[in-house]
Chain A
Amino acid sequence: MKRIVELTINGEPRDMTVDSCRSLLDALRDDVGLTGTKKGCDVGDCGACTVIVDGEPVNACLMLAVEAEGRTVETIEGLQPGVDTLHPLQDAFMRHGASQCGFCTPGILMMAKKLLDDNPRPSDEDIRFGLSGNICRCTGYTKIFDAIKAAAIEMEAARS
């Protein structure tokens, strides 16, 4: 059965017509055309599809699209503050080599954004714990940790 779902995606009011069994991930990728969010397992194991729903990180493959009715969804496509500017995390990921194949990167960036929104001065352990649901198979995480730490410092400096 098809349903119309009204929601806010990256600040824009949207509606999508979806089967009631469709995942938010498939709806975002196939119906809305936001393919930045990746499907790595489709069963909630890898974190590649992490998006932020009403301020909380969610595996979009585990949430039904109809559950997003009336809610606010943030995806990687909404992370840039402006067309020509990058979020400090995006910039730090580039400078530190925190992205290799890049398939986990959108999910990790969204998780890292949530982490820094909640905890602007995370310890090394906070960062490791914060990313424990996101699989990266290329980098050994070392440069991801470095990038998140660097972004935290820059964001802190920008606030003060």
Chain B
Amino acid sequence: MNVTTPIEQRDFKIVGKSVRRDDVLEKVTGEAEYTGDVKLPGMLHGKIKRAAIAHARIKSIDVSKALAYPGVKAVLTHENVPRVLHYGSPHPRSASCTKDQYILDDRVRFWGEGVAAVAAISEEIADEALDLIEVEYEPLPAVFEPEDAAQPGAPLIHEVGPGGNLVLDPVRVNRGDVDAAFAQADFVLEGTFSGGRPHPAYMEPNVCIADWDGSNKLTFWTSTQTSFMVRGILAEVLGLPLTKVRVLVDHMGGGFGAKQDLFQHEFLCALLAKETRRPVKMEFTRHETFVAGRSRHPCKIWLKQGFKNDGTLVARDMKLVYDSGAYGSHGPGVTIVGTTAATSLYRCENVRLEGRCVYTNTPINGAFRGYGVVQSYYALDIQMDEAAERIGMDPAELKLKNVVRAGDIAPSGHPILGHGLEICLQHGMDVLDWKSLRNRDRTPDPKRPHIRTGWGIGCEMHGSSAYPGIKEQGNATVKVNEDGTVTLLTGAAGLGTGAHTALAQIVAEELGVRFEDVGTIHGDTDVVPWDIGAFASHTTYLVGTAAKMAATKVRASVLERAAMKLQVKPGEIDLSEGNIFVKAEPGRFMTVAEAMGPSRGIPAANIVANGTYEPTKSYSFAAHFAEVHVDTETGIVEVKRVIPVHDVGRVIHPIAAQGQIEGGIQQGIGHTLTEDYIIDKKTGRSLNAGLVDYKMPLSMDMPDIETIILEAAPDPGGPWGAKGVGEDPIIAIGPAIANAIHDAIGVRFHHYPITPEDILKALREKGA
């Protein structure tokens, strides 16, 4: 349950300071070891043969030439791997998953799906052997759009699931009396919206290494956000107890949500290593990170909302269709989270929502920062702007009037405790002098008359933790060593967010020792406490609270031990900055090291405690203000300035929190203007699976970002009120840009990415 005691106020020594991140020291020197840097003696290289057809049955597969090729050690096909139906997204404790995958099947469901795997003494030989594998396909009719896949009589992609190519039964939410509310509305807005297929494009391509020992134990290095889920599902599918699977991950080169599946190549790597009795490494090419990785679900949305003439929102009716691609992966979770999110953000008592998720013969879509909500809030926020325009009201005022308030029921079904959206919106308006901006002289600069400027606002809220979809558990173990130093053991992954530093700060603060005295152990499932994985903006909130709980316990034990040594009662002493002193006689003290170390008749001690936390959820909030320049001759939109105003509760490490926001804005600008992983609608083939053709904002494209973090509404569920921050920024920036484009050129766009072609076409139509 959530911690519900009031948030403790204290004079923070370590929390709230941008202390030095030890992981960054290793990164700037090149010493940080990523999975791809690991090299084992005798290691083989694995490669995957990928289908060049979108939907087919495999009639035959001949691997004899590949097996005979010098240097090839093993070849796997659907005929010689275990046939176990399993989840792609292995969230434990979750009903929001679909078992629809085999390691290898006699069926291909998307262009690029693996049909065979090779292990060889070098990557080159493995690659060459792939060409020697002969596959004969019986083509099946394929569908590439959810509309087509949902038609009666459409080719079925899976035999499992509710049928009709649905990944799960439609998600429905009904609240209030929507029809009556529409009847009483002064005006109604209705529109369709759509989102493309942005790809996370983490810098480190997926990579894993498998090694079996003589006791039939698998050691598995992999770049994952969810090492315990990898352990669990590998064990389940390979028929092993958990003691026989050890998953290791030290540094990882980003994930942004998409490295929380169990991937086909991970099973194949383990099986190739088992078959050859040698370590096998499997590393994606950049092309494979697109084709066999995970992207954001394309989405089509129909949204109808009713308003009063004073701008009050009274009714919402919304239908969402997410494209899952060829497998379920996170489709169920994304559909549930994205749909239920639309109960909130702008308060509305009468809500009717329906979310669907549909299989298509396209690469798999999965988890990606902003999990289903990027899509639904893009539509919601743009339509709020349209409502303001309709009644001649400032969109900021209309949003302020309608934003969710403290005590409103959140998408999780719980009243919102820490609520900061009003404050974020108002603060941004004050900082920018929003009213003057709205009323500014809009005459174009005579030197550049083709450049039009615009300002827009986007709002968002996002939960820390995946509750209620998943009942989460955070764990931490804290040990105080004989010399007074402290060891924190955590299963939380280090994606690069600085989570381990934040956890160490929390432990040091709570325990009363220096930050430098806390060492963190992570990344080995045989050693650290179980962890659900790094996702849902929850590590600081969830594991941070567990770490604080463990630190509270060891602190009490340290004080007890010191009291014995000082011959006072534990209540008479206190601990601060590594010193334990008698409260009544501050001159009488000992260090934590002295308390823990040996003294006459008392041997040295090691104090250990665990913290386990099972929270519900908190919400973070943001309002983004964006300035764009639209070139009416080229259609190019430049984002010039962004003022993101965030409420994340208590800030643990300011620079790391800012970094999350700024990086999220970068990805969100890409989503909104340039990024779209394109699948050919005739063949299902990937058209831009590479970093040149998939256009991301780089150094020349980034606006000035003036990040503002308000500790406006701490949530009692997190350590000293801390909430999540990772996912929020990518959600708010999209509608802020779309609304700014409208402010600049008077054209509404209901989709992303908004390309230069779209701008020019719209301007032509507007002029005509």
Residues of A within 8 A of B (CB): 21, 29-30, 34-43, 45-46, 48, 75-77, 79-80, 86, 89-90, 93-97, 99-106, 109, 127-129, 131-132, 134-145
Contact = CB atoms under 8 A, between A and B. Distances in A.
B655 A143 contact: yes
Nearest to A104: B203
B147 interface: no
B33 A35 contact: yes
B254 A103 contact: yes
A101 B655 contact: no
Contacts of B707: 142
B92 interface: no
Q: Is the interface of B mostly helix, strand, loop or mixed?
A: loop
15 contacts: A30-B39, A35-B37, A38-B203, A40-B691, A79-B29, A90-B29, A96-B655, A99-B24, A100-B659, A102-B27, A132-B699, A135-B696, A138-B203, A138-B254, A142-B662
Given A43-B690, A99-B24, A131-B699, A38 B204 contact: yes
B655 A93 contact: no
A101 B495 contact: yes
B699 A45 contact: no
A135 B203 contact: yes
Dominant SS among interface residues on chain A = loop
Interface stretch (B15-23, B395-403, B607-615, B758-766): B15-23
Contacts of A139: 659, 662-663, 666
Given A94-B25, A99-B24, A141 B33 contact: no
B30 A134 contact: no
Contacts of A131: 698-699
Interface of B: 18, 20-21, 23-34, 36-37, 39, 124, 200-205, 251-254, 256, 285-286, 495-498, 655-656, 658-659, 662-667, 690-692, 696, 698-700, 702, 705, 707
Given A40-B203, A48-B203, A138-B663, A93 B28 contact: yes
A94 B20 contact: yes
Contacts of A135: 201, 203, 691, 696, 698
A137 B27 contact: no
Contact of A141 (B251, B692, B699): B699
Contacts of B28: 86, 89-90, 93-94, 99, 102, 105, 109
Contacts of A37: 30
Contacts of A109: 28
User: What are the nearest 6 A-B pairs in CB distance?
Assistant: A36-B30, A101-B496, A102-B27, A103-B253, A140-B662, A76-B30
Given A94-B20, A132-B698, A135-B698, A40 B205 contact: yes
B705 to A, nearest CB: 5
A42 B279 CA distance: 23
Contacts of B667: 137
Nearest to B495: A101
B570 to A, nearest CB: 39
Contacts of A42: 285-286
Contacts of B37: 29, 35
B29 A36 contact: yes
A100 B497 contact: yes
B30 A100 contact: no
A96 B696 CA distance: 23
